[in-house]
Amino acid sequence: MWVGVVSLFPDMFSAVTDHGVTGRAVKQGLLEVDFWNPRDYTHDRHRTVDDRPYGGGPGMLMKVEPLRQAIRSARAAAGGSARVIYLSPQGRRLDQAGVRELATRERLILVAGRYEGIDERIVEADIDEEWSIGDYVLSGGELAAMTLIDAVARLVPGVLGHADSAEEDSFTAGLLDCPHYTRPEQIEGRRVPEVLLGGNHEAIRRWRLKQALGRTWLRRPDLLAQCQLNSEQQELLAEYIRENDT
Ligand SMILES: O=C(NCc1ccc(CNCc2ncc[nH]2)cc1)c1csc2nc[nH]c(=O)c12
């Protein structure tokens, strides 16, 4: 997958390009991230990238010309087949369904805003989709763009080795995760559930599924409502509820 990023702070993106699963994907050539900085398209002495809003009021906007040129350059590099996404608080809320949709694209251009945002005419003329990562206030679009890159890259074939492939296991897709345990067997008197210490893999599978269903029921009934539970899952959840309905 190729991602073109338009941002005033390209160095921030080392968080995804230089670390972990996504960093490895870049090394392996499964993910490519290129950058266009609007500041490189300024021509004044101060390399101005912000501008005052018509109508007054607090805050600044991204200056139109440098931003437009950066987007145009990114589009040209993409060969015109890229989907141009503006990360903005006004955008569609990102969830795993949206990530799956975005992961079908071979090429994405992500425009990360700073200040109060960008001129609406750029949204109309140059942007295909607006996306938000949630209802909280960030200082710019870069962290949202990195979140999107990380989530989408994980769905690119080959990025998740077998070690991590549990991620999209249909077995628990759409549910919260079960509790996890590793050495030592006891921490301040708290022990690992016996089922996990034995070798009964079917019992372990059922225990983990029951825990995932139960925790989703307790903490995120909204997610559970979206799940079509099979008979085994319904039975395990009913068992969990009987054991935990305070
Ligand atoms: O660029 C982003 N944020 C920078 C930012 C934050 C606040 C304001 C100020 N808006 C004034 C206002 N709002 C409502 C009424 N008046 C403008 C720009 C961003 C991109 S995706 C995303 N997803 C989740 N949260 C985010 O902040 C983002």
The bridge status of strand 83-93 relative to strand 32-36 is unpaired
Please tell me whether 137 is known to bind a ligand: yes
pTM, rounded to two decimals: 0.96
- Could you report the per-residue pLDDT of 206-243, keeping only the tens digit for each? 999 999 999 999 999 999 999 999 999 999 999 999 99
For residue 121, give the amino acid letter.
R
Q: Which of 116, 128, 185, 232 is catalytic?
A: 116
Q: Which of 34, 50, 89, 220 is catalytic?
A: 89
Structure confidence at residue 162 (pLDDT): 73
Is 169 assigned a catalytic role? Answer: yes
Question: Distance from the CA of 146 to the center of ligand 1, in angstroms?
Answer: 15
Which of 138, 142, 143, 147, when mutated, tests ligand 1's pocket best, judged by the most ligand atoms within 8 Å of its CB? Answer: 138
Q: Is the ipTM of this complex over 0.95?
A: yes
For residues 45 and 101, is the Cβ–Cβ distance under 8 A? no
Question: Distance from the CA of 211 to the center of ligand 1, in angstroms?
Answer: 36
143 lines ligand 1 (CB under 6 A): no
Q: What DSSP element (H or E) covers 137?
A: none
58 lines ligand 1 (CB under 6 A): no
Residue for token pair 């590099």: 77
- Which CA distances in Å does 233 have to 24, 194, 221, 241? 36, 21, 15, 12
Q: Which of 68, 75, 114, 154 is catalytic?
A: 154
Average confidence score pLDDT of the chain: 96
What are the φ and ψ backbone dihedral angles of 111, each rounded to 5 degrees?
-105, 115
Question: Distance from the CA of 134 to the center of ligand 1, in angstroms?
Answer: 10
Report the pLDDT averaged over residues 53-65.
98
Is 116 assigned a catalytic role? Answer: yes
59 lines ligand 1 (CB under 6 A): no
Structure confidence at residue 39 (pLDDT): 98
Residues 6+ apart with CB under 8 A from 98: 92, 131
The bridge status of strand 186-187 relative to strand 50-51 is unpaired
Report the pLDDT averaged over residues 76-96.
96
In degrees, to the nearest 5, what angle opens at C-alpha 109 toward C-alphas 33 and 72?
110
- Could you report the per-residue pLDDT of 146-190, keeping only the tens digit for each? 999 999 999 999 999 876 655 556 667 899 999 999 999 999 999
Determine which residue's CA is closest to atom 12 belonging to ligand 1. Answer: 116
86 lines ligand 1 (CB under 6 A): no
